[in-house]
């Protein structure tokens, strides 16, 4: 009985081995053949870059950074009593997107890049301040940018939209746009300082009075043309009011605001609101909403060059 018990398990093991060896062999053989087919035929065809996510590839067809192609120097008027508030709002928001930022003040501030101009704090002599600022930019920064933006510390500028507006034009064309935030080409700045400013018959020599009308006259007398700052739908892109203001003059016939989707500048913007605008423009995103398709405008080849 002892012998039978010792032989029975061995016989049973042999029986199981012979029973399962065939199917197991074919199973592993099938797995091997399947692996080879996958490696040779199917693997190169599988798009592993695909991800089943609706937000993937929801981007604009254009992804262009015009920072280097359309270089803009921004010079901003302020005063020392506003360095810590209003000027800081510019410095920490849209001003950092300029290729170069210079503050024109009544006192120097090396941390902010503010230079002192004589009589800059005098509100009456704004025309004098403008002439001094443009001459200073011409003397020290002419070759550092293609376009020169004049603004005050209550102006908010969407720099990407400004570059988009300027893109069709060569900085060798004597042209300007404005306001608020008057921007002129390098050729226009040259003509103003070299031709208009020294000649009292071409440019108002007195220092008092508002800037815009006098600057426009000085530029146009040396054949600097006023560019069209409206968008392709004829809507203004440079506004004299805060975008929060309720103004029926900017409403369409259907009652909606007829403001450009590519607005460039707004005026009378308090420092705290500049941070709000930065958040709303550059950080806030509605989930799942596709961006619109965009394209750059054609280059303007009809304008005269200097």
Phi, psi of 183 (to 5 degrees): -125, 130
Give the C-alpha separation, 55 to 143, whole Å.
43
Whether the per-residue pLDDT at 52 is higher than 70: the answer is no
What are the strands, taking DSSP E only, across 46-174? 72-77, 100-105, 114-116, 147-152, 156-157
Under 8 Å between Cβ of 106 and 181: no
**pLDDT per residue over 129-148, tens digit each?**
899 999 999 999 999 999 99
CA R_g for the chain: 34
**pLDDT per residue over 217-244, tens digit each?**
999 999 999 999 999 888 889 987 766 6
Whether the per-residue pLDDT at 11 is higher than 60: the answer is no
Query: Model-level pTM greater than 0.95?
Result: no
Under 8 Å between Cβ of 179 and 151: no
Position 298 scores a pLDDT of: 84
């Amino acid at each position: 009985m002892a012998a039978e018990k010792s032989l029975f398990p061995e016989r049973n093991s042999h029986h199981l081995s012979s029973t399962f060896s065939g199917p197991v062999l074919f199973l592993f053989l099938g797995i091997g053949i399947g692996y080879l087919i996958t490696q040779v035929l199917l693997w190169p065809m599988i798009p592993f870059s695909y991800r089943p996510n609706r937000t993937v590839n929801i981007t604009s067809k254009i992804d262009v950074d015009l920072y280097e192609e359309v270089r803009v120097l921004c010079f901003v008027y302020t005063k020392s009593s506003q360095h810590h508030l209003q000027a800081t709002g510019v410095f920490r928001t849209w001003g950092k997107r300029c290729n170069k930022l210079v503050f024109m003040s009544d006192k120097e501030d090396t941390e902010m890049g503010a230079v002192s101009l004589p009589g800059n704090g005098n509100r009456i002599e704004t025309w004098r301040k403008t002439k001094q600022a443009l001459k200073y930019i011409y003397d020290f920064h002419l070759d550092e940018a293609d376009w020169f933006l004049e603004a005050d510390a209550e102006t908010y500028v969407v720099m990407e939209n400004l570059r988009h507006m300027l893109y069709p034009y060569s900085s060798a064309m004597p042209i300007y746009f404005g306001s608020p935030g008057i921007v002129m080409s390098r050729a226009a700045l040259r003509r103003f300082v070299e031709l208009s400013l020294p000649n009292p018959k071409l440019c108002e020599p007195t220092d008092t009075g508002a800037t815009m009308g006098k600057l426009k006259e000085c530029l146009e007398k040396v054949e600097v043309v006023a560019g069209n700052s409206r968008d392709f739908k004829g809507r203004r892109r440079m506004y004299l009011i805060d975008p929060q203001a309720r103004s029926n003059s900017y409403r369409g016939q259907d009652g909606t605001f007829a403001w450009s989707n590519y607005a460039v500048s707004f005026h009378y913007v308090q420092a705290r609101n500049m941070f709000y605008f930065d958040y709303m423009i550059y950080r806030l995103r509605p989930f799942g909403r596709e961006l619109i398709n965009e394209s750059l405008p054609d280059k303007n080849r009809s304008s005269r060059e200097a």
